[in-house]
Amino acid sequence: MNQRLERLVDWLREKDIDFAFVQAKANVFYLSGFYSEPHERLIGIFVFPNAEPVMVCPNMEKPQAIAAGWEYDIISYSDSENYWELIENYLHKRNQIGNSIAIEQEHISYSRANALNNIYKNANFISVEEKMHSLRLIKDDQELAILKQAAQLADFGVEVGVSAIKSGKTEMDILALIEYELKRKGIREMSFSTMVLTGAKTADPHGNPGITEINRGDFVLFDLGVVLDGYCSDITRTVVYQEINDEQRRIYETVLAAQNASLSICSVGTRIGDIDKAARNYITKAGYGEYFPHRIGHGLGIDVHEFPSMSENNDDLLQEGAVFTVEPGIYVPNVGGVRIEDDIVITKEGFESLTKYPKELTIV
């Protein structure tokens, strides 16, 4: 059994849980190496404390699951079959009891939980979510190698975008070019909807790109990432087009210094909330506190937003191998916004930035 499954098995034994049922795409991939978008179909894994695990997946995906390295039983089904009947028969044949069942409380539908409950009427549900978070929190060398490459491709995306800035070009012109060039490098999927924003629109942290043209004196903000071999990257850079005013310069330099304040304390043992506080205190002192409305960052891995949440009230301590974003921003309505975001891994020595695109104020 692979180490990831083993760790989950150890936990089931320790907690005296009869089995875990894992069916969130990212968790299935983490445990099995099988990366697949199930849509409404079920792809899940039953993990037992004292027996081999079993996967449930559509017939048509069975060869891919095996090719990905799954070497245990597979309950496979056609679109006309009721897979819950197949699951029930399988579990009964194994004489599997289900008094306590661990499920992904944030990621399982009510109907699936009900279906399990129909098989095991007296089931007591326990959350496996936190355990999966803590397993996925520390990245191994193979994961780090992929994350590094994904970050390089994000750097490349920004490079393409910055080089394409020109009067008359729209946000979508530049966005399309970035994604086109990344697709030519083999990237099928972005880790989220690419963001290219200009001018006053940069003041919206979750703004929507459109056919707005770039004008002299605009901030241009890029926020993008790729999915590579199942892992995500996430970078933000902000540049200025042709000329800059004093307030834009002040905002930019404040965000950059705030990010450095957070980065400078990124090391093993730092309280996560303090990473947020370092940037927040800096921005507040500069008078922009009310314009930094979000947490400093989020964990990064198979999901573009995963554990841990890098928020002010998180008392957890940073551990070696944790990967997360550090992304302070200042967003002033009608003026514009700046965000600078890097992907960080905690190392023995401190931290390493996986994204490396330059950050000094750039006037294109």
Neighbours of 308 (CB within 10 A): 18
Stretch that binds Mn ion, among 56-64, 176-184, 314-322, 336-344 (CB under 5 A): 336-344
Minimum CB distance to Mn ion smaller for 103 or for 258: 258
Running DSSP on this structure, what letter comes out for residue 62? Answer: H
Lay out the sheet containing 306-310: strands in order across.
306-310, 297-299, 323-326, 342-346, 351-353
294 closest CA partner among 312, 275, 278: 312
CB of 41 to Mn ion, least distance (A): 29
Report whether 140 contacts 131 (CB < 8 A). Answer: no
Q: Tell which one of 325, 326, 329, 346 touches Mn ion (CB under 5 A).
A: 325
51 closest CA partner among 99, 79, 90: 90
CB of 258 to Mn ion, least distance (A): 15
Residues in binding contact with Mn ion, number by CB under 5 A: 5
Minimum CB distance to Mn ion smaller for 61 or for 234: 234
Block residue for tokens 């692979």: 2
Gap between the Cα atoms of 322 and 310, Å rounded: 12
CB of 222 to Mn ion, least distance (A): 9
Minimum CB distance to Mn ion smaller for 217 or for 230: 230
Minimum CB distance to Mn ion smaller for 22 or for 154: 154
Q: Can residue 191 be called a binding residue for Mn ion (CB under 5 A)? A: no
Q: Tell which one of 61, 129, 181, 234 touches Mn ion (CB under 5 A).
A: 234
Q: Tell which one of 218, 223, 274, 303 touches Mn ion (CB under 5 A).
A: 223
CB of 92 to Mn ion, least distance (A): 45
Gap between the Cα atoms of 291 and 110, Å rounded: 38
Listed in sequence order, the residues at least 6 apart from 3 whose beta carbon sits closer than 8 Å to its beta carbon are none
Q: Can residue 171 be called a binding residue for Mn ion (CB under 5 A)? A: no
233 closest CA partner among 177, 203, 194: 194
Stretch that binds Mn ion, among 19-27, 107-115, 181-189, 216-224 (CB under 5 A): 216-224
| Residues in contact with Mn ion by the rule CB under 5 A | 223, 234, 236, 325, 341
